Structure 1
Amino acid sequence: MKVNLFSVLSFAAALLLPAATEAQDKPTKDSVPETKEVKNRNVMLNASSDNQPRQISIGLPASLSATIYEDGLPVSYSIWPCLPYLYWTGTAQHGSMGLMSLGESAITNGAVNYTVLSNTRTGGDRFEGHVNYTTNIYNKQTFDLSMASPLGEGWSLSMGAYVNLDPGSNRLADVQYASDMKIIKAALSKVWDEGRSRLNLFYRYAYNQGLGDAYGPFIYVGDGSVEEYNGFRLGHDGFLPANGFLTYRDVMTGEEKTIDRKRATHAMGNSFTMNFKHAFTNGMKLDITSKYNYSNANYTSMPLAGVGKAAATSGYTYAYDYNGHRAGEVFTGYYNSRYALIDMGFERDWLTKAELKGRSSNMAHSWRTGADLFWNRQGIRANTGVFAHTVEPDPAWLKHNGSQQFAANTGGEFYDTHETKFALYASDDWQASSRLWLSAGLRAELYSLGGHNAMAYLDATDRTPTYPENVRKVNYSVNKGRMTDFSKSWVNPAGTVSGRFTLAQGFGLLGEYVYAMQHPNSQDFAGPYMPILDDVNIHLGRAGIFYNTPWMKLVSQVSVISQSNYKSRTQFTNPNNASDVVTIPITYDVETMGWTTDIVLTPFRGFTFHGLLTLQAPKYKDFNIDVHFSDGSSKAYNFTDKTTTGVSKTIIELDPSYSFNKFRLWASFRYQSKQYINKTNTLYFNGRWETFGGVDYQFNKHLSLSANVINFFNQKGCSGSIGAADLLEDVSAYKNYVMAGSYIRPFTVEFVARLNF
C-alpha cells in the first residue's frame, strides 16, 4: 500500500483542526456508501403522529423532539421552548429530505443524534407544480401545494402552502381539530455567472394548534399486557373533558386566571433565510446561509400524574353539573390526575453558517472547513399545577377541597435568557489507497449563555436556599420572590474518526468513534435549583464488517454509547397519593452496549427488502435521588444499573417493497421489545409491532394514487413510560390495576392523491 507523505500530513492536519466529517464519492465498488446521510430510515413513518418525524433510537433516552434542519440551519435553535415539529413537517415544497449521520451531527451541530434534513424546492428554468391531497377514515383533510416558475434573467420563484386539519381518531370533546397546522413558504432565487453563483431567499410562516391527547385508561394485568377498562376504547375515546376551561395561578403575578384550552394552545413562527452558493473555477465550493427566526409557543400540556381512587372523605367534588351529578356533589371512585403545564415561550434567533469545500489535486482528499455563529434569545413562563377528572370517555373535571387546581406552581418556571455559539469545524475524507478509506473531523464551539431567572439554590448541592422566597411552594409566584442573574461560558469540543478497510472483493472492516461535549442550556436554569454545571460527555464507538454483492448490502456492528450528566426536571408522584406530585431536578448517566445488523436485498427486479436488527442493553448509571412529598414522607432511590425506561432491548425493522407495471406495494414492520414503565423496573409493557403498508398506483406521468394503512394489526397496546409509576417498588397490588398511559395510533386507512405538472 503506497501512500505519499503529503497525504499523510494532510490527514494528520485534519485531526488537529476544528473539523467535521464529510463523505466523498465512492472510489471503488467495494466501498460501503459513506455519506453524511443515513439511508433506508423513513423518519416520517411515525406510529405516534402523522405529521411529526419519528425519533430513531441510538440507545439514549429520547428528547422532546427530533432535531430538524431546513435549508442548512435548524428549524428551532433548540428543542425548547419552541419545539421544531411545531413549525415544520414534510411537504410538497421540500425538494429533498434525508437523515444526517451521527458523526456529521456531532461536527456540524455539536450533538450526537440523527438529524432530519430538508431542503426547500427552488425554481429552475421551467414551470413545475406539485399538489398533494390526503384524507383518512377519521376525516383528516390535508392540502399540500408547491409551484415554481422562472421569472427571466436568472430569476425564479417558488411558493408553497400546506394545510392540515385533523380531528384525530379519538374525537376530543372540547376541540374541533386535534391538529390544525398551516405553513406558507416562498423562495426567490437568482442564478448568474454561468450557473456558478446562486442566491436563494426563503420565507416560512407556520401556525400550529396541537390539541391532541393520546392518553387513556386501561387495566394493567400484571404480566406486561393491558385490557380494556370499563368500555374505554384506546385510540377512539377522548380522555379530556368537554369543558376546556382551566383555572390556574399565574406564575408571574400570582393572580388566579381562567383560560380556554383550545384558545390558549398555539404556536406561530416566521423565518427569513438567505443562502449564497458559489462554485469556484478551481473546484472549491462556498456555501453561506443566514436566518432570522421569530417564534412563539403557548402550551397547555397535561401529562398524566396517576390514577387514584377517591373515598367520600377524600375531598373530591364535581366541578360542574355533569351526567346527572350536581356541581359540588361528592365524587367517589377512580379519578385521573394530570400535571398541567400552561407555558408561554418565545424564541428569537439569528443563525449563520458558512462552509468551504474542496478536493485535492489527486482527488484523494475531500476537505471542508466551516464556521457557525448562532445568537438566540428565549424565555418561558411556566404555570404548573395538578388537575383531576373522572376516568371515563369525555370525563368531567373535579375539584379537590374546593379548587380545580391544586399544588399550584410547585413546579413553576421562569427565565429570560440569551445564548451565543461560535464554532469552527473542519473535516477531511481520505481515500488512502484502493483498500483504505479514512475520515476525521473536529469542532470547537465557544458557548455562552446568561439572563434572568428565579433561583432559590445557587449551587446544585445546596440543602439550604440562598433565597427562600424563590422556593416553589404552593401558590408560588415570581413577584413574591426575587429575580436572579446568571452568566456562564464554556468551550464545547466535538470530534469523529472513522475508517473502512477492504479485505476482499466486497468485504471488509469498518469502525467509527464520535465524541461531543455539551453544557447546560437555558432550560436547565428554569427552576429553583442551579443545575449541575459539569461537562456532559457523549461517547459513541462502533466497529464491524460490511459485505456487498450485486444483490445484497450488509453492515453488522457492535457499539457502545454513553452520556454523562443527563439533566431534567422531573415530576414524581407519591406512590401513596396520586394527587401529591413534586418536581425535582435530576442528573444521571446512561450507557448502552449494542449490536446492529443492517441489510438491503435486491434479489430480483422490482423487489427491495431492508432489514435491521438491534440488540442493546440500555442502563442508567450514577442515578440517585431523594424525594420529599408534601405529606411529609420522603425516601432515597437508587436507579443505577436499572434499564432505561421507554427504550427496548430488541428493535427490528422489516421494509419490503415490490414494484411492477404501474404499481408499487410496500410495507414497514417495526418491533420494539419489552419497555419498562418506571425507573424501578417493576412494571413493564410487553413488546409491540408498529405496522405500515400501502399500494401506490402511477396512473400516468402526472397523477399517482395511494392507499395506505397504519397499524393494520390494530394493536391496542400502550407505549412509552408512565411517570406516575416511577417510584413503585412493591407491585403485588398492581395486578389487574387501573392506570392510564399513552398508546400508538389505532388502525387507520389513508388515501393520497399526488398531481405533478
Structure 2
Amino acid sequence: MNKNYRNIGALVALAGLLSSTTAFAQEKAVADTLKVKTKSEEHKSDRNVMLNAANNTGPRDVNIGLPASVGGTTVLENGLPVVYFFWPELPTKAWRQDIMINKVQLLDLGQTAIKIGDVGFSVSTFDNLGTDQFHGVGTLNSNHFGLLRGDINLSGPLNKKGLKFSAGAYLNYDPGAFKAQGLPKYYSDKTQMYKGALTQDYSFQGGTGTITAMYKYTNTEGLRQSYAPFMYKKGGKIEEIDGFKMGGDSYYENTGKIMLKDAFTGEYVNRDVIKDYGSESHTLDFIWKNTLDNGLHLNMISRYHTGKIGNYLPIMTGVNTVGDDKYTYADTGEAYAGNDVQGVLVLATKRRPLKSLMSTFEVGKKSGNHDWNIGLNQWNYQINKYATEGAIYYQEVAANPRKLIKAGSPVNDYGNMSGGLEYHNGSENKTALFITDKWDVADAFTLSLGARLEYQNLRGDYQDRELNLDNLNGTKTKINKDWLNKAFMLNAVYKMTSSFGLLGEVNYNEQGGHLENYNVGQDPKIKQSKIPGAGFGVYFNHPMISLVSKATYIQRDEYRTTVNFSNPNNPTDVRREITNYDIQTLGWTTDILASPFKGFNLHLLVTVQSPKYKNFAGKVAFPDGTIAEYDFSDKIVTGVSKVLLEIDPSYTWENLRVWGSARYFSKQYFNKPNTLDLEGRWETFAGANYKLNKFLDFNVTVVNLLNQRGASGSIPDGDLITTTEAAESKYNTIMSGTYIRPFTVEFGVKYNF
C-alpha cells in the first residue's frame, strides 16, 4: 500500500481554522479596552502537535481538508524553514524537537501563506541562543522496545559584556517495534544532532540589539515507514494473518541489501538499505535583531545549508495469489509453497549533494492602532544530479520475507526486474515581498491583513524516461519555468459583547512547481496552483468554558502529483504517472476548552468535512498495450476522514499532572474510485508528569493505549478498481499497507541544573 499522502495523525487543535487573530501559538490573549480576553487566540495553541501516532521523530500532520504533503507539516527553526522544500530532504533529516528548543508556535493558514508562501499549517520552533545566567538541562528517554534518546543543552554568559553561548547535543537510537533480519539494531532511526550558538547583546544610541551565529550538524539514517500484510474484510475491517503480527514482525526483505544498477555507471552495485541511504547536513545561521527606542524593529536571519541526502522508499505494489505461476526462492532456488506473493517497487537514491541559501529581512512597529510588519524573503536552492534507482521484485508474504523469482519473469542475476531511472538537476529561487498588519479598527473590531508577492523560478534539466536508458548518459531536457505567486489574507474579529463575537477570514494563495515534479522523466506541464479559502464563525468566552465554532471552505487546483498505477492485467506492472487535478473541501469545526473545576482541563474538537477530487480524469498506457481510463472527479480524497474528533483531558494536582489524548478518524477510502475503504479508528495517548523538585522531573507516556492496528494509506493496484463488484473481489484477501505505532510505553527523566 503506497502512502502518497501522509495523513496518519492528521487531527490537531485547528487554531487557524478557528481563529481570526494573528497571535502566535503560545502567546496569551491580552485584555483589550473592553476588558475582554479574545480566547479565540488561545485556540491557536500547539496542543499535542508533537503527539504523532506515525512515528516519534517529528510533528503530526495538521488537517486542513487537503491531502497532507509527503513531508507532512512544515517546520520552521528560528524563523526559516528547516529545509527549502520537503523533498528530497524531509524536515526530520535536518531537525528534531530537541531540548535546545525553548518555544514552539503553530502558524495558521494565513500566516504560513504570507510569511513563507506555503500551504497549510506550520510549526515554528525557536532555539535557546544563550542566557544571561548559566543554565543546563538534560533529558533521557526510553521505551519498552529499547529506545535510547539523550538530549542536553548548556547555556550561559561568556563575559560581562553581553557575550553568551548555547550548546546542545541530541542522540537518538531507535530499534523500532520489531526485530528485523538483515537490518542493524537501530534500523528505525539513528540520529546525531549537535548545535552551538554564540550571541552578542549590544546597545547603541537609539536602541538595542543582538547578533547570533549558530551552527548545526545532523547525521541520520533509518527507515521511514513500517509495512504489514493483513486480511481485508467487508466494511473496511482488517485482521492479522496467521504468522504475522502487525507491529511485531518485519515485512522488509530479510537481507537488508539490494542490487541496483548505478545511475551514473550502469553497473550493478550492492546497496545497504540503511547505511547507503542516510543523510548528513551542515547548517549555519546568522540572526540579527534590533529594537529602536521608538519601537521600530529591524530583524534579519540568513541560513546556509548544505548536505548529502539519501532516500530509500519500498512501495508495496500489491499481493497476488500464486495460482498456476511458479515461484522459487532467490537465495536457494527451492520452490515456494505459499499461496500469496508481494510485489515491491523500490525507489532508492544514494546520498546526493544539495545546498540552499535563505534569508529573511523584516521591519515593523506598533504604531497607534496598527501593528505592522514588512518582510523580504530571498531563498535559493540547488541540487546536483538527484538520481533515483529503481527495481521491482517479489517477496513471500511472511515475517522477515525472502525474495522470490517468478518463472519466466525478466529478472537479472539478482532476482530484480528493472524499476526505471528517475533524475532531476538544477536550482530553484524565490524572491518575495510580504506585509502584515493587525489593525484595531475600533474597540470591538480588529482586522488582521497580509499580502505576499513572490517571484519563483526553476532552472535545470531532467532525462526523458521514454529513452529507456539505464544510466544518465542520455540527452537531457531543459527546465525553464517562472511564476509570479500571490497570497492574501484578511481575518476579522468582531466583539459583540464582552464574551461573544464573530470571526471571519478570507485567504488566497498561489503555488508554482518544484524540480522534483520532473523526477519521473516527463514534462509535468506545471501550471500555477490557486488555493482560495474562507471561513465564518462565532466564539464564546466564559471563566469555565471557551468555544469557537466555524464553517470553512478551501479549494486547490492544478495539483501535480505522481501516482503509481498498477496494470489491471498484471498488478506488479506499475506505471508512475504525473497527474493533475483539483480538490475542494467544505468543513465545520468546533473547538472547546473547558475548566469546570480547579486543576481539571478538557479540550474537545470536532470537525466535519467533505474533501472531494475535482477534474481528475485521464488514462494510463502500460507497456503491454493495456490502456486504462479513470475518472475520480467528485470522489472523496483518499486517506482523509470526513469526521474527526479529539478529546484531551488533563488534571493537575500539586506536582503531578496526568493527561490523555484520544483522536477519532472516521472511515477513509484508500483507493481513488472510493470502492475500497478502511473502517474508522482511534489513536490514543496517555501520560503523567511528576515534578520531584525544581531540578528533577519524571514522565511516562503510553502510545496507542488501545493497541489499535490502524492500517492506512493507498494501494496502487486499487486505483483502477472502479466498480463495486471488482472491489468485492478484494474481500477476504490479503493486502498490505502502513500502520500506526503499536502499543508503546515511553518514559523519561529531565534534569535542570
TM-score by length of 1: 0.91
Q: Is the 8 A contact 2:393 2:417 kept in 1?
A: no
Which residue of the partner structure matches residue 462 of structure 1? Answer: none
Distance (Å, rounded) in 2 between the aligned partners of 1:414 and 1:532: 17
How big is each residue's C-alpha offset from its partner over 1:33-70, in whole Å with a ceiling of 9 and x where there is no partner? 57699305322100010111111110001111121100
Which residue of the partner structure matches residue 717 of structure 2? Answer: 724
Q: Is the 8 A contact 2:347 2:391 kept in 1?
A: yes
3-state SS, counterpart of residue 701 of structure 1 = coil
What is the aligned counterpart of 1:370 among 363, 366, 375? 375
How much has 1:328 moved relative to structure 2?
5.4
3-state SS, counterpart of residue 165 of structure 1 = strand
Tell me whether 1:658 sits opposite 2:651 in the alignment: yes
Question: In structure 1, what residue type is equivalent to 2:316?
Answer: L
Distance (Å, rounded) in 2 between the aligned partners of 1:650 and 1:720: 17
Which residue of the partner structure matches residue 158 of structure 1? Answer: 166
How much has 1:703 moved relative to structure 2?
0.3
**1:494-513 equivalences in 2 (<5 Å):** 494-513=487-506
Tell me whether 1:643 sits opposite 2:655 in the alignment: no
Tell me whether 1:430 sits opposite 2:439 in the alignment: yes
Distance (Å, rounded) in 2 between the aligned partners of 1:538 and 1:212: 29
Structure-2 change in CA distance of 1:441 and 1:694 (3 Å): same
Distance (Å, rounded) in 2 between the aligned partners of 1:197 and 1:34: 33
Q: Is the 8 A contact 1:338 1:388 kept in 2?
A: yes
Distance (Å, rounded) in 2 between the aligned partners of 1:93 and 1:76: 19
Question: In structure 1, what residue type is equivalent to 2:524?
Answer: P
Distance (Å, rounded) in 2 between the aligned partners of 1:389 and 1:585: 28
How big is each residue's C-alpha offset from its partner over 1:559-602, in whole Å with a ceiling of 9 and x where there is no partner? 11111011112211123322111111101100010000011111
Question: In structure 1, what residue type is equivalent to 2:54?
Answer: S
Q: Is the 8 A contact 1:342 1:382 kept in 2?
A: yes
Q: Which moved more, 1:665-674 or 1:519-528?
A: 519-528
Q: Is the 8 A contact 1:249 1:409 kept in 2?
A: no
Structure-2 change in CA distance of 1:308 and 1:302 (3 Å): same
Which residue of the partner structure matches residue 420 of structure 1? Answer: 429
Q: Is the 8 A contact 1:81 1:347 kept in 2?
A: no
How much has 1:213 moved relative to structure 2?
4.0
Tell me whether 1:190 sits opposite 2:184 in the alignment: no
Question: In structure 2, what residue type is equivalent to 1:183?
Answer: M
Distance (Å, rounded) in 1 between the aligned partners of 2:380 and 2:42: 25
Superposition RMSD on alpha carbons, in Å?
1.9
Distance (Å, rounded) in 2 between the aligned partners of 1:405 and 1:514: 52
Which residue of the partner structure matches residue 14 of structure 2? Answer: none
What is the aligned counterpart of 2:111 among 80, 92, 104? 104
Distance (Å, rounded) in 1 between the aligned partners of 2:311 and 2:67: 23
How big is each residue's C-alpha offset from its partner over 1:188-228, in whole Å with a ceiling of 9 and x where there is no partner? 11101178210111111111111254110110012110111
Q: Which moved more, 1:209-218 or 1:196-205?
A: 209-218
Q: Is the 8 A contact 1:31 1:502 kept in 2?
A: no
What is the aligned counterpart of 1:443 among 449, 452, 455? 452
Structure-2 change in CA distance of 1:535 and 1:179 (3 Å): same
Distance (Å, rounded) in 2 between the aligned partners of 1:390 and 1:112: 41
Tell me whether 1:681 sits opposite 2:674 in the alignment: yes
Structure-2 change in CA distance of 1:373 and 1:41 (3 Å): same
Distance (Å, rounded) in 2 between the aligned partners of 1:190 and 1:25: 31
Which residue of the partner structure matches residue 392 of structure 1? Answer: 398
Distance (Å, rounded) in 2 between the aligned partners of 1:248 and 1:536: 36
Q: Is the 8 A contact 2:77 2:125 kept in 1?
A: yes
Distance (Å, rounded) in 2 between the aligned partners of 1:37 and 1:673: 23
Q: Is the 8 A contact 1:692 1:712 kept in 2?
A: yes
Structure 1: gaps of 5 or more residues: 1-19, 321-325, 456-469
Distance (Å, rounded) in 1 between the aligned partners of 2:201 and 2:455: 35
**1:76-475 equivalences in 2 (<5 Å):** 76-152=83-159, 153-175=161-183, 176-177=185-186, 178-193=188-203, 196-211=208-223, 213-311=225-323, 313-314=325-326, 316-320=327-331, 326-327=332-333, 329=335, 333-344=339-350, 345-360=352-367, 362=368, 364-379=369-384, 380-400=386-406, 401=409, 402-403=411-412, 404=414, 406-410=416-420, 412-455=421-464, 470-471=465-466, 473=468
How much has 1:343 moved relative to structure 2?
1.3
Q: Is the 8 A contact 2:136 2:153 kept in 1?
A: yes
How much has 1:25 moved relative to structure 2?
5.7
Q: Which moved more, 1:376-385 or 1:196-205?
A: 376-385
TM-score by length of 2: 0.92
Distance (Å, rounded) in 2 between the aligned partners of 1:295 and 1:581: 32
Q: Is the 8 A contact 2:75 2:81 kept in 1?
A: yes
Q: Is the 8 A contact 1:675 1:720 kept in 2?
A: no
Distance (Å, rounded) in 1 between the aligned partners of 2:307 and 2:31: 41
Q: Is the 8 A contact 2:277 2:349 kept in 1?
A: no
Q: Which moved more, 1:305-314 or 1:594-603?
A: 305-314
Q: Is the 8 A contact 1:52 1:89 kept in 2?
A: yes
Q: Is the 8 A contact 2:664 2:682 kept in 1?
A: yes
How much has 1:291 moved relative to structure 2?
0.6
How big is each residue's C-alpha offset from its partner over 1:122-177, in whole Å with a ceiling of 9 and x where there is no partner? 21211101110101110101001111021012111110001110101122222211
How much has 1:21 moved relative to structure 2?
6.2
How much has 1:312 moved relative to structure 2?
5.3
Distance (Å, rounded) in 2 between the aligned partners of 1:736 and 1:519: 43
Question: In structure 1, what residue type is equivalent to 2:361?
Answer: A
3-state SS, counterpart of residue 524 of structure 1 = helix
3-state SS, counterpart of residue 158 of structure 2 = strand
Distance (Å, rounded) in 1 between the aligned partners of 2:623 and 2:234: 29
Which residue of the partner structure matches residue 483 of structure 1? Answer: 476
Tell me whether 1:747 sits opposite 2:743 in the alignment: yes
Identity %: 33
Q: Which moved more, 1:501-510 or 1:684-693?
A: 501-510
Question: In structure 1, what residue type is equivalent to 2:182?
Answer: D
Distance (Å, rounded) in 1 between the aligned partners of 2:416 and 2:182: 22
How much has 1:121 moved relative to structure 2?
0.8
Structure-2 change in CA distance of 1:34 and 1:25 (3 Å): farther
Q: Is the 8 A contact 1:418 1:450 kept in 2?
A: yes
Q: Which moved more, 1:646-655 or 1:20-29?
A: 20-29
Structure 2: gaps of 5 or more residues: 1-20
Q: Is the 8 A contact 1:677 1:721 kept in 2?
A: yes
3-state SS, counterpart of residue 500 of structure 1 = strand
What is the aligned counterpart of 1:621 among 601, 614, 619? 614
3-state SS, counterpart of residue 107 of structure 1 = helix
3-state SS, counterpart of residue 731 of structure 1 = helix
Q: Is the 8 A contact 2:257 2:270 kept in 1?
A: yes
How big is each residue's C-alpha offset from its partner over 1:602-639, in whole Å with a ceiling of 9 and x where there is no partner? 12221111111000001000001201223322121000
Which residue of the partner structure matches residue 38 of structure 1? Answer: 44
Which residue of the partner structure matches residue 550 of structure 2? Answer: 557
Q: Is the 8 A contact 1:312 1:331 kept in 2?
A: no
How big is each residue's C-alpha offset from its partner over 1:333-358, in whole Å with a ceiling of 9 and x where there is no partner? 31111110111443201100011110
Question: In structure 1, what residue type is equivalent to 2:479?
Answer: F
Question: In structure 2, what residue type is equivalent to 1:79?
Answer: F
Q: Is the 8 A contact 1:309 1:335 kept in 2?
A: yes
Distance (Å, rounded) in 1 between the aligned partners of 2:40 and 2:467: 51
Q: Is the 8 A contact 2:338 2:396 kept in 1?
A: no
Question: In structure 1, what residue type is equivalent to 2:329?
Answer: Y
Structure-2 change in CA distance of 1:26 and 1:202 (3 Å): farther
Structure-2 change in CA distance of 1:339 and 1:271 (3 Å): same
Distance (Å, rounded) in 2 between the aligned partners of 1:349 and 1:149: 31
